[in-house]
Structure formats: structure tokens, C-alpha cells
Amino acid sequence: MFVLISIDLEGCAGVVHVDQTRRGGADYERARAWMSREANAAALGAFDGGATRVVVNDSHADMRNLLFEELDPRVEVISGALKPLSMVQGLDAGQPDAAFFVGYHGGAGLRASVLDHTYYGAVVGEIRLHPAQSAADDPGLWVDEAAINALVMGEAGVPVALVTGDEAVTAHASERFPGVTTVAVKASITRYSARSIHPDEACRRIRAAASEALRGLARVKPYTLPAPIGVTVSLLATAYADAAELVPGVVRLDARRVRYVAPSAREVLRAVLAITKIAGTVVV
């Protein structure tokens, strides 16, 4: 059994501030150690639950945060950026039987979720998905990184069996991903404060939940939406939208919103990456 683990940092126990998530920031080294331990706990739980192969994809920022010496030697690690599939790189390294999302956080625009953002926090206000022919004023479905990544996995027939992070992301995962197991390691108070369990306890719970998730894998179903899918990105400044409009196929809806109609979930992800990366080149 092959399990792909996507590990982020903002949703790990004890992390509440951007300084902890940026290379060179205060407490970054400690936070990356917590991240590495949570990734390892999920991997150990996967092996406990019957996995024979575990690939961990470092999915935070420059994607080279994991401390390899903290990981079980049976684990394979994907690190570095750019990656064509970003946070779900590894999907094409053989067909995973299940995916785990560990250390995940709430999406951009979500109240009371520590360090909420969706892919590029400096430029994205929120992201919504729509039926391809929906009107510009259709509110659509608000999505976070977990939902976008789960759609890419689901399109390939891979279910998300485990999601860990703050209470905001785990609550949305429970609503959307059929049969998913979740572990909330902290309860967000504001964007920069939370009540967290101890990192040791977080690892204990994650390992137990990972094993349980695999043992109950038959009840877990892939998360899908009918294609084509319209993806609307609300940007934080008009200059970002000016730049995003240069991406072929992107349509400007108003001052700060752009939309792209994607033929597949994988193309939704690629559109989000292209829009946010080109928007992020603008100085405002």
C-alpha cells in the first residue's frame, strides 16, 4: 500500500506566527523540527496501518524544510521547488492508495484560522470554484489548499484519508471529504493566536489517527467535482489582477477578480499556481 503525505507548516502544533514559518525567522528552526516530527508521526502511523511505501512531499514555502534525520529511514522525501503539482507532487510517482494532509491550515479569508492563506497569502484574498458557465456574480464554492489538493488527488481516484491542522481546516475537511479522519492540534483564536496541544501529544494523536485511517480506508471516497471547473481568484490589489490577466485563458471579472475555466482539477491547480505566481511579481 502506497501513501502520499503532503506536509505543511502553518497547521502544526505550536505554530502561530509568520516568523516561525520563514527561513531565518525567530523560532523557524524549532517549528521545522515540529513539522518534521508530525510528518514522521503520520508516516509511522501509515506503516502501522499496513503501508509498504510512504512518500512525504515537503509542501511549505520553498519546500525544503524537513529535517531528514527526524524521519523514519523507510520514508521517501520530495523536496525543493518549483514542482509541477506543488503540494501534491508525488501523485505521479505510482498510484497512491491514499493521501494524508498534515500540518494544514485554513484558507484565505477564513476568520479565526491561524495564518490563513491559499497558496500565496501576499496576493490572494480568496479562491472559489464554480460550474464552468456560471455568472460573474455566482458566489461559488469557497476552497482552501486542502480542497484544491484533494480535487487533484480525487480526479486520479486517490482519497484523502487523513487531515491534520487547526480546527478550521479539519472542520472543512470533515464536511467535504467522505470518510476522512481528522486531528485538530490547535484551536485558532485569531490569525496570530491559538490554543495548541503539546507537540509530543500532537505526534501521538497523528500516528494513531494515521493508522486508524488506513485500517478504515474502505469507507473513504475520493473528493471530486464535475469538470470543467471555473476557478475565480480574488486578488488583494488591482495591480495583481492586471498581471494575472496576462495568463492565457484568464478573464478579468472586475477590479480584483479573475477567472479561468479549467478542463480538469489538475488544471485548476495549475491555473492557481500560474495566476498567483505572476501576480506575485508585481510591486505595489
126 is in an annotated binding site: no
- Look up 117 and say whether it is catalytic: yes
What is the rounded CA–CA span in Å between residue 270 and residue 231?
A: 11
Do the Cβ atoms of 41 and 66 come closer than 8 Å?
Answer: no
- Which residues does residue 143 pair with via DSSP β-bridges, in sequence order? 127
| CB proximity list for 129: less than 8 A, separation 6 or greater | 140, 141, 143, 225, 229, 230, 231, 232, 268
145 is in an annotated binding site: yes
What is the rounded CA–CA span in Å between residue 54 and residue 46?
A: 7
Residue 92 φ then ψ, to 5°: -95, 10
Q: Which one of the listed residues 117, 130, 172, 198 is annotated catalytic?
A: 117
201 is in an annotated binding site: no
Q: Burial code of 149-169, b = ≥16 C-beta within 10 A, e = fewer?
A: bbbbbbbeebbbbbbbbbbbb
CA dihedral of residues 47, 48, 51, 56 (deg, nearest 10): -40
Classify residue 226 as exposed, middle or buried by CB count within 10 Å of its CB (0-12, 13-18, 19+).
exposed
What is the rounded CA–CA span in Å between residue 168 and residue 236?
A: 22
60 is in an annotated binding site: yes
172 is in an annotated binding site: no
Q: Annotated binding residues for Zn(2+), as ranges?
A: 8, 10, 60, 105, 145
Point out the residues that are catalytic: 117
Q: Annotated binding residues, as ranges?
A: 8, 10, 60, 105, 145
